[in-house]
């Protein structure tokens, strides 16, 4: 079957670094996406990994290990506006995405 797992909630302090983990099981693998969703708003695209390794984009980085079925999103220099849910989504052979339950991140002053 297909399954995505990520922590439900995390809390971190402004200015800190936080790592949100995601493990996935899909029929085949054709990429992993991370989305950010603020409360009451649409998810917005953050990053995409299809090869092993780290993709860096400003304060946000995403890592993928295909052999371990594992990804993480790393957020540096946390700001209050980073308080949101972070959705991990994997694409299998079927070309559609399977989404995880989302991790709600709270950034405290």
Partner 1 sequence: DVKVTQSSRYLVKRTGEKVFLECVQDMDHENMFWYRQDPGLGLRLIYFSYDVKMKEKGDIPEGYSVSREKKERFSLILESASTNQTSMYLCASSRQRGYGYTFGSGTRLTVV
The footprint of partner 1 (CB under 8 A) covers 4, 8, 30-31, 33, 35, 40-45, 48, 87, 89, 91, 95-97, 99-102
Residue number, 72 or 97, with CB nearest to partner 1: 97
Tell me how far apart the alpha carbons of residues 1 and 25 are, in angstroms, rounded to a whole number: 7
**Cα→Cα distances 103→33, 49, 51, 85, 87, Å:** 14, 18, 23, 5, 7
| Minimum distance from residue 14 beta carbon to partner 1 (Å) | 26
| Minimum distance from residue 15 beta carbon to partner 1 (Å) | 29
Tell me how far apart the alpha carbons of residues 28 and 21 are, in angstroms, rounded to a whole number: 20
| Minimum distance from residue 31 beta carbon to partner 1 (Å) | 7
Residue number, 71 or 91, with CB nearest to partner 1: 91
| DSSP state letter for 82 | G
């Amino acid at each position: 079957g297909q399954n995505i797992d990520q922590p439900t909630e995390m809390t971190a302090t402004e200015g800190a670094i936080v790592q949100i983990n995601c493990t996935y099981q899909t029929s085949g693998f054709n990429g992993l996406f991370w989305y950010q969703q603020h409360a009451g708003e649409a998810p917005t695209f953050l990053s995409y990994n299809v090869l092993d390794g780290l993709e860096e984009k400003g304060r946000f980085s995403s890592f993928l290990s295909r052999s371990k079925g594992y990804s993480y999103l790393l957020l540096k220099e946390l700001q209050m506006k980073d308080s949101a849910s972070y959705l991990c989504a994997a694409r299998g052979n079927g070309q559609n995405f399977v989404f995880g339950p989302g991790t709600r991140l709270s950034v405290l002053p």
